[in-house]
């Protein structure tokens, strides 16, 4: 009958063991590939930010295969866009005094028009440093948290414990910077939100 051993169950066990070892080797090889892909993405474009240094990947290694899969689903083979995007800002229709950033020039092929009263984004050295609240809108929770931070930021000088100057209260600008409002080629962002959680 072509049995390696006298008992059929021993052949079944050997086949199962071979399959499991094969799967383990494939997973190990794919993890090496996903890890190299991860570090390649970190370098293009290069950035001074080092999140891995902050979370200590020696003790808390990222899930390289999960990251590879999520990047493949959301970005495909697209390369990071290194073009400088000029920004403008307009006052929020929901929060008086809050400035919302947007593209100064419409994206090629986009039907989204700039806000009619948007002004080019320029930081003045004579004013206190602006507070910029950045978010990537992957779900309504992110948006609400960012708006809550904006609400705090607009009154940060008043709540700091020191006596706020009139200049700091009136001239510090708070910006709501939603990256998807600027440029977005990412698809399935809500799916990614649930996968990351």
Domain-ending residue, one of 33, 51, 75: 75
Which pLDDT belongs to residue 193?
46
| 44/93 same-domain check | no
Which pLDDT belongs to residue 94?
82
| 42/129 same-domain check | no
In sequence order, the β-bridge partners of residue 100 are 90, 176
| 19/111 same-domain check | no
| 71/30 same-domain check | yes
- pLDDT 10s digit of each residue in the chain, 197 long? 455 556 777 888 888 999 999 999 999 999 999 999 888 888 877 777 777 777 777 787 788 899 889 888 877 777 777 778 888 999 988 888 899 888 888 767 666 677 778 888 888 888 888 888 888 766 677 778 888 888 888 877 665 555 545 444 456 888 988 887 776 555 444 444 444 43
Query: What is the distance between the alpha carbons of residues 71 and 64, in angstroms, rounded to a whole number?
Result: 10
64-75 vs 189-196: helix crossing angle, rounded to 10: 170
| 69/19 same-domain check | yes
| 164/100 same-domain check | yes
| 96/168 same-domain check | yes
Which pLDDT belongs to residue 102?
87
For residue 82, being part of any structural domain is answered with: no
| 57/107 same-domain check | no
| 104/180 same-domain check | yes
For residue 106, being part of any structural domain is answered with: yes
pTM over the 0.75 mark: no
| 66/100 same-domain check | no
| 51/145 same-domain check | no
Which pLDDT belongs to residue 26?
96
For residue 65, being part of any structural domain is answered with: yes
For residue 2, being part of any structural domain is answered with: no
> Do 154 and 68 touch, CB atoms closer than 8 A?
no
Q: Three-class SS of residue 180?
A: helix
Which pLDDT belongs to residue 190?
46
Neighbours of 164 (CB within 10 A): 16
Report the domain count for the chain.
Answer: 2
| 61/101 same-domain check | no
For residue 136, being part of any structural domain is answered with: yes
Query: What is the distance between the alpha carbons of residues 28 and 34, in angstroms, rounded to a whole number?
Result: 10
Q: Please give the residue range of the domain that contains residue 71.
A: 8-75
CA distances, 154 to each of 46, 64, 148, 157 (Å): 32, 39, 10, 8
Domain-ending residue, one of 51, 75, 99: 75
């Amino acid at each position: 009958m072509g049995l390696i051993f006298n008992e059929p169950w021993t052949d079944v066990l050997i086949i199962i063991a071979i399959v499991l070892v094969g799967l383990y080797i494939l997973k190990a090889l794919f993890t090496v590939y996903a890890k190299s892909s991860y570090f390649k993405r970190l370098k293009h474009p290069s950035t001074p930010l080092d999140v891995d240094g902050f979370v200590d990947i020696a003790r808390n290694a990222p899930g390289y295969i999960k990251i590879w899969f999520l990047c493949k689903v959301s970005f495909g083979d697209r390369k990071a866009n290194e073009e400088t995007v000029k920004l403008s800002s307009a006052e929020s229709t929901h929060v008086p005094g809050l400035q919302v950033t947007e593209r100064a020039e419409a994206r090629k092929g986009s039907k989204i028009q700039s806000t009619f009263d948007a002004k080019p984004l320029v930081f003045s050295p004579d004013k206190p440093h602006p507070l910029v609240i950045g978010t990537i809108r992957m779900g309504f929770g992110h948006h609400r948290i960012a708006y809550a931070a904006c609400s705090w930021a607009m009154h940060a000088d008043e709540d700091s414990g020191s006596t706020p100057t009139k200049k700091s209260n009136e001239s510090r600008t708070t910006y709501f910077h939603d990256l998807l409002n600027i440029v977005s080629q990412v698809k399935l962002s809500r799916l990614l939100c649930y996968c990351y959680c």
